[in-house]
Amino acid sequence: MALSKPSPTLYVSNLETKTKKPELKASLYSLFTPYGQVIDIVAKKNGGGRGQAFIVFAEQAGATAALRALSGGLFYNKELSISYAKAPSNATLSRQDPSLSREKAAIEAAKLVVSNAQGEYEQLEKEREADEAVLRGEKREAIDEDGESTGRDAKRLKGNEQENEEDEEEMELDDEDEDDQPSLICSNLPPECNEDIMSALFSQYTGFSSVSSFTASIPKSHPKSNTGSRSFLIKFDSVEGLKKAESETKGYLMQPGWEMSVSQK
């Protein structure tokens, strides 16, 4: 156990290798979070990273407290080997220098994609307007010559309108299907809890689809949440997986004093 070079990131080895990665990360979070705010957990289930994980704390004191309290303890019936990590984690670097944040890089990349898409959209709009101008000119010519629009133009315009209406109806149906997707509302989660942690917890259940922050009113059936708590919406593709997840995670303790409330939306 190397104490000479303290770090907010702990290197944990001799972990059980048969446990699924989402369950392993959720269990590690529950084990280490009582000693301080855990901002990231990196665990691999293949290659040279089997049986190893990195626990990233927001503060050095939390990492030190966890190292001293948990070193040599049993975790899944195996003795934990814990030491300070030799290099700072990406999560730590991003807190020290926001320009190094992976999230910021992803946001900048997304902005570039949106910008390019906006340019393509504007170009398509110009081309569409030009085509409509040509079509209006052809219609005027046909009216000047014959006194009325040709049946072919009328049918084409009517057909375009019908296709647009069908597309709008299909989009509305898609929206309705998405709204009807089976979901769980989870409340009273610690402020440091995020989508990655919730995804790790619920991805072990069949039919898990996605997780997002929930900002609407919490159901009255939920007990009063702690101050500063967060809520999440967990979506499933199947009711069977949802019901099992609801049954097994209701009352789950992310950390002492934070009992998670779970109900169907």
List the chain pLDDT tens, one digit each, 265 residues. 444 478 999 999 999 888 888 899 999 999 999 999 999 999 876 655 678 999 999 999 999 999 999 999 999 999 999 999 988 776 666 555 555 445 555 565 555 555 666 666 677 778 888 888 888 876 676 665 655 555 555 556 666 666 666 555 554 444 444 457 899 999 999 998 999 889 888 988 899 999 999 999 999 999 999 999 999 999 999 899 999 999 999 998 888 889 999 999 8
Domain count for the chain, please give it.
2
At residue 129, the pLDDT reads 85
Burial class (CB in 10 A: 0-12, 13-18, 19+), 158: exposed
Determine, yes or no, domain membership for 34: yes
What was the pLDDT predicted at 135?
82
Domain that holds residue 224: 183-264
Among candidate residues 72, 99, 126, the one where a domain is terminated: 99
Its pTM stands at: 0.39
In-domain check, residue 147: no
Of 51, 74, 99, the residue that ends a domain is 99
| Distant-in-sequence, close-in-space partners of 137: CB < 8 Å, separation ≥ 6 | none
Domain assignment present for 173: no
pLDDT tens-digit profile of 3-54? 447 899 999 999 988 888 889 999 999 999 999 999 999 987 665 567 899 9
Q: Is residue 176 included in any domain, yes or no? A: no
Classify residue 80 by burial, with Cβ atoms within 10 Å: 0-12, 13-18, 19+.
Answer: middle
Q: Is residue 257 part of a domain?
A: yes
Asked, for residue 175, whether it belongs to a domain, the answer is no
Phi, psi of 97 (to 5 degrees): -140, 100
> Which CATH number goes with the domain that contains 74?
3.30.70.330
Q: How far apart are CA 212 and CA 186, in angstroms?
A: 10
**C-alpha angle with apex 36: 30 to 42, nearest 5 degrees?**
60
pLDDT at 50: 79
23 located within any domain: yes
| Type of residue found at 51 | G
Asked whether residue 251 is assigned to any structural domain, the reply reads yes
Round to whole Å and give the CA distance between 220 and 253.
20
Domain boundary among 99, 130, 154: 99
